Amino acid sequence: MLRCHRDGLPDVALVTRGDDLRRAFREYQSFGNMSTKTTVEAHDAALLTDPSIGDLDPPRHTQVRRLLLVAMAPKAIVQAESHVAAAARRVTASFADDGQAELVSQWATPIPSDAIAYVLGLPENDWPMINAFVHAQHSDAEAAVVAGRGLAPASEDFLTYVGDQVATRRRDPDEFDDALSRMCAFVGTDGTVFSDSEVIRNVQTLLSAGNETTTSLMCNLVWRLLTTPGAVDAVRDDRGLLPAAIEESLRLDPPVQIFNRRVRASTSLGGIELAIDEVLGLSIGSGNRDPAMWGDDPDNYVVDRFADPAAVPGHFGFGLGAHFCVGASLARLSALSGIEALLDATANLRLADGWTYDKVPPHALRRPRSLPVRFDPVPLSG
């Protein structure tokens, strides 16, 4: 644990060790999920109407989380497999004859966006428009940091579009079997139902929580495979290694490096006394390299480290406990489908000459701004 100050950001007590992170993620009663701009008292006194899940802890958090879990139901993700794989092949085919591509914009942005749109049930004709919206949000994340402001809200047009999709499902519930219709029909165990504006807000949450993160995972994965000696050959020779390669990417280069919490009651963690209202920075990036968990090579990309998941600890890439990522399965599916399609369509895949890693500016995010590659095209079948 260490205390840190950075101009323009709240002072934080940074949680860096795996053991301390496990406690901080699990003990939501002591370490609350709320904006760093408020205090515990003000947060609890505010009757948040239509709150984002990022401002809630159990018990209020539980109903919203159930709604999102209904949207991202395991059965729906399994059922999406062939569709996401087809979308990944289509996206990859769009540049496969060129012998070159910029993977952030041409591959790692559209595939997760199409996957989320598919699971939500948004019509395929609209995917290019949704893609453009997601792309604009990615760019806005950078602009927001440079300008020192928060993310711009989704455009009115986009919200109207989602609202129309909600209204269609309210009118004809039997016509649809998708995440949006399940969200519209959702009734919590205590009878809670969600209004149109709450459903729209949670669709926005899924789009913003799921896109930039999965784009980052896919770029970080390719970057490590291409820069770690033998790694890309290992996964080409044994595609069964890809899930392990993805987990190792999430461990070494977690797309979200840090999540904040606020101390709800005076306590101590990692030998440091914490006062109420202090901001905790849960450093996923650091915990995922803690030598106490990962042995003597925590900074290396070991492509088969997760080949036997039972033999390694869990990484913090998707968080832990009450707020564990609801889209983890879909993110893994997008990354696996994307990398399979890319390996199928290319031989001699390599980084463009002269390219150097330039990280996206937001301090909490980790991925290269661009990822230009060269390759020998291989005709795709199917």
Q: Which is nearer to ligand HEM, 294 or 375 (CB)?
A: 294
* Contact call for residue 33 and ligand HEM (CB under 6 A): yes
Token pair recorded at residue 343 = 């390996």
Query: Is 145 within 8 Å of 171 (Cβ atoms)?
Result: no
Q: What's the rounded Cα separation, in Å, for the pair 191 and 307?
A: 43
Residue 6 is classified by DSSP as -
Does residue 65 interact with ligand HEM by CB under 6 A? yes
Q: Which stretch binds ligand HEM (CB under 6 A): 96-104, 136-144, 320-328, 370-378?
A: 320-328
Residue whose CB is less far from ligand HEM, 85 or 326? 326
Q: Find the binder of ligand HEM among 169, 251, 323, 367 (CB under 6 A).
A: 323
Output 96 or 365, the one with its CB closest to ligand HEM.
Answer: 365
Q: Could you say whether residue 205 binds ligand HEM (CB under 6 A)?
A: yes
Residue, CB closest to ligand HEM:
327
**Axis crossing angle, helix 196-227 with helix 127-147, rounded to the nearest 10:** 80
Copy the structure tokens of residue 276: 């109420």
353-365: b or e for each residue (b if 16 or more CB lie within 10 Å)? eeeeeeebebebb
What is the DSSP secondary-structure string of 55-85?
G--TTHHHHHHHHHHHHT-HHHHHHHHHHHH
217 in contact with ligand HEM (CB under 6 A): yes
Q: What token pair was written down for 176?
A: 């649809």
Stretch that binds ligand HEM, among 15-23, 64-72, 128-136, 143-151 (CB under 6 A): 64-72
Of 10, 51, 298, 319, the one binding ligand HEM (CB under 6 A) is 319
Positions touching ligand HEM (CB under 6 A) are: 33, 53, 65, 68, 72, 116, 205-206, 209-210, 213-214, 217, 254-256, 259, 317-319, 323, 325-327, 330-331
